[in-house]
Amino acid sequence: MSKNKIVFLDQSKSPTHYYNILADLPTPMAPPLHPATKQPVVPEDLTPIFAKELIEQEMSGERYIEIPDEVQDLYKLSRPTPLIRASNLEKVLDTPAKIYFKYEGANPTGSHKTNTSIPQAYYNKKQGIKNLVTETGAGQWGCSLALACKHFDMGCEVFMVKVSYEQKPYRKTFMGLFGATVHASPTNLTNSGRNVLAKDPNSPGSLGIAISEAVEVAVQRDDTNYTLGSVLNHVMLHQTIIGQEAKIQMELIDEYPDVVIGCVGGGSNFAGIAFPFVQDKLSGAKKNLEIIGVEPSSCPTLTKGKFEYDFGDEAGFTPLMKMYTLGHDFIPPSIHAGGLRYHGASPIVSHLYHEGIIGASAYDQLDIFKAAQLFAQAEAIVPAPESSHAIKEAIEQALKCKESGEKKTILFNLSGHGFLDLGSYEKFLNNELD
């Protein structure tokens, strides 16, 4: 076993600023448009549901944005997270490649989502907001926001996509443990939910529908704001502490990746691991760096979607964003990687893909569960189904190295553990997955 099996980073070396990739894009992004006027969004359009400082971050062109001291202190519950060499997986694959992964499952709720739930709750609390409302797919984001809201003594209401609400009941339990109210979306509590149920009483739900319900609630209450766990620029921004830490950790062992991989739904964990490395590629320092986003073949936003303006939600409440999309009314199949069941990709991720700066791939559900089982048996970590898409791509890259003899260094983001996904793994073991 390599002496560098686990690379820890002292908390004194933790990043003190978020990295804002908007400052380094070679071509400007298309602006978001107001849903009614179709004119570019201005900050005042977002103030009814978002904290002022988050709106400023959403539109900022500054390269680095300081992390508040109180947020840094809360990060220290689990950060920096470890960088781990998958040396046992390398042996199983008989590959000359070196495989490393950043393990975000070490975060308090078992995923990377606390990296943004903590600052989002902090900025809203600072502004005097008393309650936050949101959507969640697999429940990782809902759990993370529930924890953050409890710390800041705020109310938390979560619309959880119904199929995941049923597949992953213990995430609902976790949210309740921290005081959150959880609804299976679509619901009869909102016009958005009632409209969906009128068309399909058995709708499995989608993130687009759950977003509509959460936004509808937020605009009706002066003391309540809306928060989003992915897609938006400020969420991508907060997650960049993952990649910044990983770069420092790889420097400590004199390594730099040839390939960087992350799974993609909305795009937050991919952005977290990838954007600090994209910075090196854009600067010309690492022109040949390959960066790959991996998505489910049943919800192939980047690989089969259209690059066009679309709503972020089903009802059309959100601004129109230029992104790769399958259509805001697309209802993805009921796969068990619920965090990736989203019709669109982050506008920044979409822009980078459209410009050819990053690549993308897609895999079937059974393939990713097979990859997850192989990884778990080799590395003794049960990964979340979402993260297993990145594992599958890392395995494919390592096998290519086996064929070619190349000694590439592969880095992927293991964005969460799968202990609350064991029901899905049971279906896999019983051959009950499509």
| Whether residue 264 has pLDDT greater than 60 | yes
**Greatest Cα-to-Cα distance within the chain, rounded to the nearest angstrom:** 61
| 1 band by pLDDT with thresholds 50, 70 and 90 | very low
Q: What percent of the chain stands above pLDDT 90?
A: 91
pLDDT digits (tens, 9 = 90+) for 176-226: 999 999 999 999 999 999 999 999 999 999 988 999 999 999 999 999 999
Q: What pLDDT is attached to residue 433?
A: 85
d(C-alpha 360, C-alpha 214), whole Å: 30
Provide Rg for the chain, Cα atoms: 20
Q: What pLDDT is attached to residue 94?
A: 98
Please name the residue that has the structure tokens 């990746």. 257
**Domains along the chain with CATH numbers:** 6-15+67-111+234-429 (3.40.50.1100)
Q: What pLDDT is attached to residue 377?
A: 98
Q: What pLDDT is attached to residue 339?
A: 75
d(C-alpha 227, C-alpha 153), whole Å: 16
Contacts of 392 (CB under 8 A, 6+ apart): 294, 363, 367, 368, 371
| Whether residue 67 has pLDDT greater than 80 | yes
CB 339 within 8 Å of CB 140: yes
- Range with the poorest average pLDDT among 44-48, 62-66, 80-84, 396-400: 44-48
Contacts of 283 (CB under 8 A, 6+ apart): 24
Give the H/E segment covering residue 376: helix 365-379
DSSP 432: -
Nearest to 368 by CA among 418, 320, 325, 307: 418
Q: What are phi and psi of 207, to 5 degrees?
A: -65, -35
| Whether residue 337 has pLDDT greater than 90 | no
Ramachandran area for residue 152 (φ above 0: left; ψ -120 to 50: alpha; else beta): alpha
Report the DSSP pairing between strands 224-226 and 131-136. Answer: parallel
Report the DSSP pairing between strands 155-161 and 131-136. Answer: parallel
| Whether residue 4 has pLDDT greater than 70 | no
Q: Where are the beta strands (DSSP E) in 107-150?
A: 131-136
d(C-alpha 341, C-alpha 334), whole Å: 8
Nearest to 384 by CA among 288, 209, 263, 206: 263
d(C-alpha 252, C-alpha 82), whole Å: 13
368 residue type, one letter: I
CB 61 within 8 Å of CB 22: yes
| Whether residue 160 has pLDDT greater than 60 | yes
**In whole angstroms, what separates CA 171 from the centre of its chain?**
17
DSSP calls for 357-409: SSEEEEE-HHHHHHHHHHHHHHHS--B-TTHHHHHHHHHHHHHHHHHH----E
Nearest to 78 by CA among 419, 420, 337, 416: 416
Length of the chain measured in residues: 434
Q: What pLDDT is attached to residue 335?
A: 64
| 2 band by pLDDT with thresholds 50, 70 and 90 | very low
Ramachandran area for residue 153 (φ above 0: left; ψ -120 to 50: alpha; else beta): left
Sign of CA dihedral 219, 182, 109, 171: negative
Mean pLDDT across the chain, nearest whole number? 95
| 157 band by pLDDT with thresholds 50, 70 and 90 | very high
Q: What pLDDT is attached to residue 3?
A: 58
16 residue type, one letter: T
Mean pLDDT of 244-260: 97
Q: What are phi and psi of 290, to 5 degrees?
A: -100, 130
CB-neighbour burial class of residue 12 (10 A; exposed 0-12, middle 13-18, buried 19+) = exposed
